[in-house]
Amino acid sequence: MKEKKMFIVSVWFGFVLLSRLLKVSFPVGESAASIYCMAAALPVLAYFLPSRYSFPLVGGVFFLISSLPITAGIPTLLAALSWSLSKEKKTPSILFHTLFSALAISLFILSPSGAEAWPYALYWLIPIACSFVRPRLATRALSSTFIAHATGSVIWAYLVPLSSGQWLTLIPVVAVERLLLAALSVGLIGTIAWVTSLLPSSQPEASSSLNL
């Protein structure tokens, strides 16, 4: 089991390094927006390993290979926490996703331009809704990416205030961005599970146990 965990970490780290070089661009009106694939790759380790292992690794790798952003890696760590808690529809997951999302919505609306841009924060109802349904890979990916989005947005709302019009303009961008990140997370988890299943000591059903 220890060897399997080390193998998972090695494969994950390889994908993180690769994702650092990858950027996905998509059209938004007459311009284009981009997302960095590392935002999807880093938190998914918490899908495979308990938080006591995944948290230090996710945080350590983030600070090792990233230039420190204004959000200080907090969205990434909370996205990993979401993956860790959402394995089952249990009270800790429901409490975390409900209370954190409600807090993020409240803080955003109380920010300098948040009151007039409140529709932007409605995205953060998604983790609440997902926490009340049977956990599946897709819903867990959506919860994780929107928890990260809520965290980053609230930090930006207070440290780098945007106008309400700018926040509202970002609404369609967020939809595409977060769906892409969730899809990348699902694909990466499936790939890591498949590679791990090739180990001689792995159970044959390792890659088929993903609850999509």
* Window from 19-33, 54-68, 87-101 with minimum mean pLDDT: 19-33
Does the pLDDT of residue 27 top 80, yes or no? no
Residue spans of the domains in the chain: they are 2-208
pLDDT per residue over 90-142, tens digit each? 888 899 999 999 999 999 999 989 899 999 999 999 999 998 888 889 999 99
**Cβ 104 vs Cβ 82: under 8 Å:** no
pLDDT per residue over 142-191, tens digit each? 999 999 999 999 999 999 878 999 999 999 889 988 999 999 999 999 99
pLDDT per residue over 72-83, tens digit each? 889 999 999 999
pLDDT confidence of residue 121: 96
CATH of domain 2-208: 1.10.1760
